[in-house]
A and B are shown apart, each in its own frame.
Chain A
Amino acid sequence: MIAELGHFALILGFIVSLLQVVVPLVGAAKRWPGWMRFSEPGANVLFLLTGFSFAALTYSFVVSDFSVKLVWMNSHTAKPMLYKISGVWGNHEGSMLLWVLILTLFGAMAAWFGDGLPPTLKARILAVQASITAAFMAFVLFTSNPFLRMDPAAMNGQDLNPLLQDPGLAFHPPFLYLGYVGLSMAFSFAVAALIEGRVDAAWGRWVRPWTLAAWIFLTIGIGLGSWWAYYELGWGGFWFWDPVENASFMPWLIAVALLHSAVVVEKRESLKSWTILLSIIAFGFSLIGAFITRSGIITSVHAFATDPERGVFLLLILAVFVGGALTLFAFRAGVMEAKGVFGVVSRESALVLNNLLLAVSAFIVFVGTIWPLVSELLFDRKLSVGEPWFNASFTPLMVLLGLVLPLGAMLPWKRGKLGRVAKRLTGAFVLAVSVGALVWAIQEERSALGPIGLMLAAWLVAGSATDLLSRGRKGERFARLLRLPRADWGKAVAHAGLGVTIAGISGMLAWQQEDIRVMKYGDSLELAGYTITLNEVKRVQGPNYISTMGDVTLSKGAREIATLTPEKRVYPVAGMPTTEAAIDIGFWRDIYVVVGDPQDNGGWAMRSYFKPLANWIWGGAILMALGGALSLSDRRYRVAAGARKAAIEKVPGVPAE
């Protein structure tokens, strides 16, 4: 009954979403206030209906209603409650419903917080958002219905994929979807502005918080996924340039570019058409991501619904929305003439360079991701494009980006002098070079990766600090620091976060050590100055799994640091094994231990890793997200809302049509 109600709510939502597309659009075109105002309750009703539908599905999972096919396929009574709930989105159908829920949530939020928007723009934004919602609701209803029943009902379920039964992965999809789908707001703003024929500084200011929010979620989502891969896969890899990882990374890169170009629109009324284009592309990459994950066209380890019918439907959505928006863009781009004038050496130019590097790097990731497909279709060459290619093609652009970032971040708007900025950054530069030289001197390997990576990292962190400090006059710098706008803090923290992540990646890749050997009880090994001793291996019964758990002592010299318990788990219902690495997490290094198979002649295969600066990778991601959150909480976005309203009432801007 509950499942049917959920299904019914979704059908009702689909009908409302169609109305929500037509009524506000007509209203905005004819300037009928009543029709335009329809969009606000419309957005709320859509959200409530989808929310009800999602709650109904969640309820079916929580009470383990195995007459619902999806619950039977992805749940089990013995599963902990957390994973019963995360099972809702741990599958194709449920995750699409979550996707729709987030679409309507963002629509409703635009209705709640969009008081300062001109009524026509607001109505159009909500209508465009509803059109995306309608498309995805149709996708769920016609190709991926989560509410299908089965008769007779099963006694128990088939359990969720054990790899998904993990706290890191339980929250990875919702964050990722909040990011993917959050970019639909930027898309809706862009298309609405194109219909409206007007992009001004205010538009840049309105679209930025939404992009920022989406980007924060995407950062957290990608970070969680990468962290999960690190501790779950058994050898501590954190990024594989897998098609589905790339699918989340491309919108992230474009979102970063969009964040920066929207600043130029807001502050200087330039780069308007480029920003609109980026908004369209960013969401386009989100849709491509959905297509890659769910169509199975590009083989990937993540793909969880490989169904051609669904693929075609998604391709259709992609073609209609991105194609439609780009066509609209082609017709309307001329309307958005740039106003700001600036010199070649200026913050604007630096941000153009930032956008250029980010867009090209996203392009490279895109080419590498689809090349196997293109090559097979056009040239009949079946080949792979893997990690080594991506590392070699992508890294140079990021190094370049890191090098120019502190300079660009400190250049003044309109016109600047490179020499003056360089002079202020001398301290940071000297520090960075010293760090690089020091690292070069003390490392045992002759690899360039470590020194260059850490030099870049120091340059970024020290550059961000210099940027903050330079805001005050001499003598009162520290007092002023605390009074700086949060957006300035956000910028510095996020840029420093990038530096920390770069340090982590290069440190770990350059100096990681591994040890693979057979160990008997009581055996010890030495790894990077640490002693690892295997005490015993025992069998432990978990709630819905059986574990083979090693008992390992980690010590340094005579001092015992930790007891590690690496596990191998078998989930009998799902019939799948997982490895649970034991990690002693430290600020400077992780010690990572995995237990392998028992050997014929006694003993166990053990793998131990020394991973320097591992946590800096995710620490940097957290800093980046934190920087975004600081920027998002800047009072400019809140205070300006009231001021904007007054300004709009006074000056009824002439739409450039």
Chain B
Amino acid sequence: MRWLCLTLMLWAAPALAVQPDEILSDPALEERARAISKNLRCLVCRNENIDDSNAELARDLRLLVRERLVQGDSDVETVDFIVARYGEYVLLTPKAAGSNLILYYAGPAMFLFALLAGGLYLRTRSQTKPEGSDALSEEEKVRLKEIMRE
């Protein structure tokens, strides 16, 4: 599934995701770094976050995240720093601002619309008189009269 990412490295032996030498000694900082990494895209891969990626660039980004955190940046500052450098494309959770609001509101809006349409449908279905079952059609009424006359 990630093979295109892998093909980029061709012969290079796969350097697996987070390396032992990258891990920060402070577990709290490391946990923050991992959480941030899960939301950053490996730019040369396809749809893979830097935490899982084997690519060199992902490793650079992981180290960069940790560097910022060690220097005392907050999570938001760290992410902003990377977005400023690499663009919005690096974020796996797109920003809920501007045109992206369409992305965020499309689902809930569709859900409300569907609820409304479904509700209306159910209402008409429950209020409609069953046809055919009890009421006789004109033809049947005529036929019934004929039978009664006989």
Contacts and interface: CB of A to CB of B under 8 A. Distances in A.
Contacts, number: 179
A301 B45 contact: yes
Contact of A516 (B19, B46, B123): B19
Nearest to B43: A384
A597 B91 contact: no
Interface string A509-521: 0000000111000
A382 B115 contact: no
A103 to B, nearest CB: 26
A233 interface: yes
A579 B16 contact: yes
| B interface, over-half SS | loop
B52 A379 contact: no
A16 interface: no
A486 to B, nearest CB: 30
Chain A interface size range:
35 or more
A388 B107 contact: no
B32 interface: no
B48 A393 contact: no
Contact of B13 (A225, A384, A568): A568
Interface string A303-342: 1000000000000000000000000000000000011111
B136 to A, nearest CB: 16
Contacts of A387: 38, 49, 92
B128 A341 contact: yes
A389 B100 CA distance: 12
A597 B13 contact: yes
B93 interface: yes
Contact of B92 (A245, A353, A384): A384
Contacts of B92: 384-389
Interface residues of B, number: 61
Given A240-B1, A242-B46, A352 B118 contact: yes
Contact of A594 (B1, B16, B23): B16
Interface stretch (B4-12, B71-79, B141-149): B4-12
Interface in B68-103: 87-95, 98-100, 103
**For B5, B103, B114, B130, which residue has the most chain A Cβ atoms within 10 angstroms?**
B103
A566 to B, nearest CB: 11
A344 interface: yes
B18 interface: yes
Contact of A383 (B6, B89, B125, B132): B89
Contacts of B10: 575-576
28 contacts: A228-B1, A232-B1, A234-B14, A235-B52, A240-B48, A299-B47, A342-B125, A344-B122, A348-B125, A360-B111, A360-B114, A363-B106, A367-B107, A375-B100, A379-B98, A381-B99, A381-B100, A384-B47, A384-B89, A386-B49, A386-B92, A387-B92, A388-B92, A389-B93, A568-B13, A577-B13, A596-B16, A599-B21
Interface of A: 161, 163, 225, 228-229, 232-235, 237, 240-243, 245, 270, 299-303, 338-344, 348-349, 352-353, 356, 359-360, 363-364, 367-368, 371, 375, 378-379, 381-389, 392-393, 397, 516-518, 568, 570, 575-579, 594, 596-597, 599, 605, 607
Interface of B: 1-7, 9-21, 23, 38-39, 41, 45-49, 52, 54, 87-95, 98-100, 103, 106-107, 110-111, 114-115, 118, 121-123, 125-126, 128-132
Ranked 5 nearest A-B pairs via Cβ: A386-B92, A379-B99, A364-B107, A301-B46, A388-B93
